Amino acid sequence: MNTTAHGFKERSVKALQNTTLQEALARAYGGFVHKRQAAIDALPEFDALCEQARRIKDHALDHLDHYLEGFEAALTAEGGKVHWARTPEEACQQVVAICRAHQARRITKGKSMVGEEIALNEALEANGFEVVETDLGEYIIQLAKEPPSHIIAPAVHKTRGEIAQLFHTFHQRIERSQPLAEVPDIVEESRQVLRSVFLSADVGITGANFLVAETGSVVLVTNEGNGDLVSTLPPVHIVVSSIEKVVPTLEDVTTLLRVLGRSATGQAMTAYTSLLTGPRRADDRDGPSAMHVVLVDNGRSAMLGTAFRDMLRCIRCGACLNHCPVYGAIGGHAYGWVYPGPMGAILTPRILGLRAAPDLPQACTLNGRCQDVCPVHIPLPALLRKLRMEAFTQRITPPRARFPLALWALLAKHPRLYHGVMTLAAGLLGRLGQRRGRFRTLPFARGWTEGRALPTPAVQTFQSCWKHRRRSDPS
Amino acid sequence: MKVRPQRVVGLLVTCLIDLFRPNAGFAAVKLLEQAGCDVVVPRAQTCCGQPAYNSGDARSAQAIARQVITTFEAFDDIVIPSGSCAGMVKIHYPRLFAQDAQWQQRALALAERTHELTRFLTEVLGISESGATYRGTATYHDSCSGLRELGIHAQPRQLLASVTGLHLKELRDWESCCGFGGAFCVKYPELSVRMVSDKVASIQKTGADTLLGGDLGCLLNIAGRLKRQGSGIKVYHVAEILAEMAGHAPPIGEGPNSQ
């Protein structure tokens, strides 16, 4: 997926002005929050489960090499094949090579954020394959030629009207005088269209929610059942997964699933949970004849042994997006790459480099709600601060931000000078705005005063008043 | 005759109260003195260092933190009328010195005796009655740092419940950020204004005539938006109400001729 992460600021302003987007976001934003809360309120041991989930992921990351090799051995024993890819290019080449080897033409896909990360669709299409997304949200944005805007709800930025219009334009074979109006009709029509695609695909590609080292299983959760059709109907199933998805046991997966569904959509469990362990066995009635798992690193192993290792615990529930006031105001596209919101503000600069996404760690109030709702306790604000420190030391922070900061720091380190300057500032600005108690506009504070009045400083600072009080109060 | 020697409390006024709202600082002094504390306001204080820390300038933040530690470590208790500044001292100073055992020790020792004002009054001094009067319906903005780093939520409400004439109505989105975020509010003004507009809308929905909070940054932001929209809702730091000093200064963002 192409990145435009450097254009965050302009995109965020455009997003705020986009009324259709605002309509879609307003509808979605509260829904996720309330459903999650209701699901958690109904499960008293939720916090304990989260702590257990954190420990499982930490343990797996501490022994990542061991469990990845374990996964490879177990899957190989079941007849599957594991491929290791250091970079997105390597991963795409491996997938293309598998598709070529099986003389594939049509490929169905389940939703995969790692697939988006490595720009898999673009690579496959460039090599002449026909790729059809089968997750409804992914299908919609594929028709619209847009990237996903949310890691679990890729088309959350689209209104029902926009989707109906897309279907009206692209489903020409279905005769209809006007666009569909109701959600069930939209879902039903996508089912009809996709059914024939499922049956005629040569290769199915999915992501993975978890990889299980002890059994070699790929765990996939969906609400539409499309994952099962993609992974079992075509003769070849390819899984693309990043390396941090591996966990030791099936028992661990049950714990993680209990926090994943609740954190993501407020569901106790998603509608479909599939465990895929190798290709079709002799006595299986269905399933692919070949199963491949492409394990993508793309910067993850470099995060191990650093503070950013905590980020690898992420189970992609999207709760941090759903509770982020910045994401809620602008949606995912402004972030410019596949991972938006708080988790994206850390992953994008880590994977693509801080210079490619200089705004992302800064565009946050550090309010900490994301950390509160993260089921695996990732210290997101602390990691964002860490990125800000890197930006500052590497001089990625622009001079217009550095200069006022340096001036302020100089003052703050010299109390006498500081109080002198503050006394002057209060005397001047305080008197200027004394009558109304606020400024409508101030030349050096436009960022503030364009949308807000600026309350005026007091005529005398606290410290000046305190000095006088002490003088007149001999005790 | 006093049974035990007075607690000597060092007040970290905060840079925003020093410049914008001295009345809130004096209200904090009054509350502490009423409770029998001996309040000292060291002249060597400037700011807690958050602007540097949150902008990635760790070296300046450390220099300022060392200054605060040196200035305040002699006191029995350090009290701060701000959740975010108290969070900075309690949670972030020790982290700032992760590579410096000696300073980290001093930072931890200070952190242990540092308290946000309403927590100090309720949990350390055990005060539940303010003895104050304020006529009006207020709503309360929980500042994010105080709420999530220090667990400040029940303390101001417990104290406000004892204010005669005050009726408290809760905000529906009390967990949402107001969009201040320090430098965020001027770096990303459009985003910040959107967030504070949402907050202001929900404040107005409560029907309250007064907005209270414990962090001046958020209060300046919210008052600024309320006043831009022509709202008559009065904004005060919670200490000003508890110390019955709301009458000593016009509400935040208002003056004698503000209408």
**CB burial class (10 A; 0-12, 13-18, 19+) of residue A377?**
middle
Query: Does residue A17 sit in the same domain as residue A165?
Result: yes
Nearest to A430 by CA among B23, B179, B147: B23
Sign of CA dihedral A339, A345, A351, A357: positive
CA–CA separation, A266 and A152 (whole Å): 12
Domain presence at residue A43: yes
- Please, which residues bridge with residue A237 across strands? A204, A291
Q: Where are the domain boundaries for CATH 3.40.50.11810 in chain B?
A: 129-248
- Dihedral angle computed from the Cα positions of residues B194, B199, B202 and B206, in that order, rounded to the nearest 10 degrees: -150
Count of structural domains, chain A: 2
Q: What pLDDT shows up at residue B17?
A: 98
- Nearest by CB: A415 against B46, B227, B255: B46
Binned at pLDDT 50, 70 and 90, residue B15 comes out as very high
Find the distance separating the first CA and the last CA of chain B, reported in whole Å.
50
- Which of A301, A336, A354 is at the close of a domain? A301
CA–CA separation, A242 and A441 (whole Å): 50
- Mean pLDDT taken over chain B: 96
Architecture of domain B129-248: 3-Layer(aba) Sandwich (3.40)
- Nearest by CB: B43 against A406, A409, A415: A415
- Neighbouring CB atoms inside 10 A of A74's CB total 20
CA–CA separation, A260 and A253 (whole Å): 10
Q: A82: which DSSP letter?
A: E
Task: Say which residues have a Cβ less than 8 Å from residue B231's Cβ, sequence separation at least 6.
Answer: B200, B204
List, in sequence order, the alpha helices (H) in chain B: 15-20, 22-34, 50-54, 58-72, 83-87, 93-96, 101-112, 117-119, 144-150, 154-160, 184-187, 189-206, 216-228, 238-242
Domain presence at residue A335: no
Domain presence at residue A175: yes
Binned at pLDDT 50, 70 and 90, residue A3 comes out as low
Q: Is B249 left (phi over 0), alpha (psi -120 to 50) or beta?
A: beta
Q: What pLDDT shows up at residue A178?
A: 79
Sign of CA dihedral A67, A70, A76, A77: negative
Q: Are strands A454-455 and A438-439 parallel, antiparallel or unpaired?
A: antiparallel
As a whole number, mean pLDDT of residues A33-53 equals 97
As a whole number, mean pLDDT of residues B218-243 equals 98
A357 has a pLDDT exceeding 60: yes
- For residue range B124-141, list pLDDT tens digits in order: 999 999 999 999 999 999
**Contact in structure between B117 and B31 (CB atoms under 8 Å):** yes
Give the pair of three-digit tokens for residue A273.
Answer: 């949970």
Q: What residues of chain B, 93 to 132, have a C-beta less than 8 Å from chain A? A: 95
For residue A176, the number of C-alpha atoms closer than 13 Å in the C-beta half-sphere is: 17
Collect all residues of chain B within an 8 Å Cβ-Cβ radius of residue A26: none
CA–CA separation, B144 and A198 (whole Å): 48
Query: Does residue A289 sit in the same domain as residue A414?
Result: no
Q: What pLDDT shows up at residue B60?
A: 97
Q: Are strands B77-80 and B114-116 parallel, antiparallel or unpaired?
A: parallel
B159 has a pLDDT exceeding 80: yes
Show the domain range for A69.
5-301
A259 has a pLDDT exceeding 60: yes
Q: Which CATH class is domain B8-122?
A: alpha beta
Domain presence at residue A342: no
- Neighbouring CB atoms inside 10 A of A199's CB total 11
**Contact in structure between B30 and B39 (CB atoms under 8 Å):** no
Q: What percent of chain A has pLDDT over 70?
A: 98
- For residue range B69-111, list pLDDT tens digits in order: 999 999 999 999 999 999 999 999 999 999 999 999 999 999 9
Provide the greatest CA pair distance for chain B: 58
Domain containing A179 — which CATH number?
3.40.50.10420
Collect all residues of chain B within an 8 Å Cβ-Cβ radius of residue A329: 191, 194-195
Q: What residues of chain A, 63 to 92, have a C-beta less than 8 Å from chain B? A: none
Binned at pLDDT 50, 70 and 90, residue A29 comes out as confident
- Which of A301, A333, A359 is at the close of a domain? A301
Q: What pLDDT shows up at residue A472?
A: 67
Q: What pLDDT shows up at residue B2?
A: 45
CA–CA separation, A5 and A348 (whole Å): 8
**CB burial class (10 A; 0-12, 13-18, 19+) of residue A128?**
exposed
Domain presence at residue A63: yes
A359 has a pLDDT exceeding 70: yes
Q: What pLDDT shows up at residue B157?
A: 98
CA–CA separation, A233 and A276 (whole Å): 13
Q: What pLDDT shows up at residue B1?
A: 44
Domain presence at residue A378: no
Query: How much is the CA Rg of chain A, to the nearest whole Å?
Result: 26
Query: Does residue A115 sit in the same domain as residue A232?
Result: yes
Task: Say which residues have a Cβ less than 8 Å from residue A236's Cβ, sequence separation at least 6.
Answer: A98, A99, A102, A104, A202, A203, A204, A288, A289, A290, A291, A292
- Which of A268, A301, A334 is at the close of a domain? A301
User: Phi and psi (nearest 5°) for B14?
Assistant: 85, 145
Give me the DSSP letters along A189-230: HHHHHHHHHHHH-SEEEE--SEEETTTTEEEEEESSSHHHHH
Its ipTM equals 0.96
CA–CA separation, B48 and B64 (whole Å): 7
| Least confident residue range of A124-138, A178-192, B46-60, B221-235 | A178-192
As a whole number, mean pLDDT of residues A53-65 equals 98
Collect all residues of chain A within an 8 Å Cβ-Cβ radius of residue B145: 366-368
| Least confident residue range of A284-298, A410-424, A458-472 | A458-472
CA–CA separation, A366 and A465 (whole Å): 33
Q: What pLDDT shows up at residue B178?
A: 98
Domain presence at residue A386: no
B3 has a pLDDT exceeding 70: no
Task: Say which residues have a Cβ less than 8 Å from residue A354's Cβ, sequence separation at least 6.
Answer: A361, A387, A390, A391, A394, A396
Q: What residues of chain B, 167 to 206, have a C-beta less than 8 Å from chain A? A: 175-177, 179-198
Binned at pLDDT 50, 70 and 90, residue B210 comes out as very high
Q: What pLDDT shows up at residue A475?
A: 46
Question: B246 CA to chain A: closest CA distance, Å?
Answer: 15
Collect all residues of chain A within an 8 Å Cβ-Cβ radius of residue B183: 401
Nearest to B161 by CA among B242, B41, B56, B89: B242
Contact A363 B191 (CB under 8 A): yes
Predicted model pTM: 0.95
Q: Which helix (H) or strand (E) holds A327?
A: helix A325-330
CA–CA separation, B90 and B82 (whole Å): 12
- Nearest by CB: A451 against B13, B63, B189: B189
Assess B88–A contact: CB distance below 8 Å, yes or no.
no
- Mean pLDDT taken over chain A: 94
Query: Does residue A297 sit in the same domain as residue A404?
Result: no
Nearest to A229 by CA among A259, A197, A255: A197
Top residue of A10, A14, A22, A366 to mutate, by most chain B CBs within 10 Å, is A366
Nearest to B192 by CA among A467, A35, A234, A326: A326
Contact A412 B148 (CB under 8 A): no
**CB burial class (10 A; 0-12, 13-18, 19+) of residue A286?**
exposed
Domain presence at residue A34: yes
- Please, which residues bridge with residue A222 across strands? A272
CA–CA separation, A209 and B88 (whole Å): 37
Q: Which of A4-18, A120-134, A393-407, A442-456 has the highest mean pLDDT?
A: A120-134
Q: Which helix (H) or strand (E) holds B140?
A: strand B133-141
